Structure formats: C-alpha cells, structure tokens
Amino acid sequence: MTKQGRLGTFVVVFAAVYSAMYYFAVDRNWALFSYGPALGEWKMFAHAASAGPTMYWYGWIATSAIVGGVAGLLACLLPQGWRDRVWPGFAWLVPVCAIGAIGYLLSGYFTR
C-alpha cells in the first residue's frame, strides 16, 4: 500500500465528494444561490427569478465545491494509516459514476 500524503488525500477526496455532491445538487436542486439572467438578479439558495428563466448551475457548483473542500480538509486530518486506505482511483471512478447518473437523469432528451 502506498503512503498517501495530505495533499494527495485532499485531491482524491475533493474530486470524489464534489462529483457525488454535484449529482445530488442537480437531482434535488441544492443550489447555494440562484441567478436570473433576464434581470441580473442573484438570490440565496434555490429561488425562482422574478422574471425570465432561473439558473442554478453556478449554485450547484458552489454547493459541491464547498462540500468537497470541507470533506477533503477533514480527510487530511485523518491518521496516516487511514489516509493510506484512500484509493487514488476514487478521483476518477466517482466522477465517472456521477456522469453516468446525470446522463440517466437527462436520458429523456434522447428518447423523445
């Protein structure tokens, strides 16, 4: 088993947790903030704009980045033995699963 440094642990956990969180943020609309481009209107959390469409994408990224960042920092605090068990492959495997799940969520556009 390879020795996992704190930075290595952070980047792997960040990629994995951010990606998983992003799927849930999209699926359940957990946006940290919302934007109405018609009026240039920003609102905290997921709230519809007063006119025109509402964009949650920026808010989903913010939610996921914060949760991923906090999880990565917490993982850095783990003892060396636990950090060594963080498989580097989680950095790509969890994002691949999140992409597959999001593709499934949007599959309706391709079967109409």
Partner 1 sequence: MWIALVITHGLLAFLLLGAITHQVVSVWAPVRARAANFVARYRAVGSANYANAVIVLFVANALLGAVLYTNYRISARLTLEQGRYWKSFGAFEIKEHLIAIGLALLPAYWYFWRPAALENTRTRTALTSLLAFIVWWAFLTGHIVNNIRGIGT
- Based on CB atoms, which residue is closest to partner 1, 46 or 98? 98
> Which of residues 81 and 110 has its CB atom nearest to partner 1 in the complex?
110
Enumerate the H helices of 1-112 as residue ranges: 6-28, 57-76, 80-83, 90-105, 108-111
Is position 65 an interface residue for partner 1 (rule: CB under 8 A)?
yes
Tokens 């934007």: give the residue: 35
The answer to whether 66 and 3 have CB atoms below 8 angstroms apart is no
Binding to partner 1 by residue 24, rule CB under 8 A? no
Write down the least CB distance from residue 68 to partner 1, Å. Answer: 6
100 C-beta neighbours (distance < 10 Å), count: 11
Task: Determine if 70 is a binding residue for partner 1 (CB under 8 A).
Answer: no
Take residue 22 and report the two structure tokens written for it: 């992003």
Q: Output the furthest CA–CA distance in the chain (Å, rounded).
A: 56
Positions in the binding site for partner 1 (CB under 8 A): 2, 7-8, 10-12, 14-15, 18-19, 22, 26, 35, 37-38, 52-53, 55, 57-58, 60-61, 64-65, 68, 88-89, 91-93, 95-96, 98-99, 102-103, 106, 108-110, 112
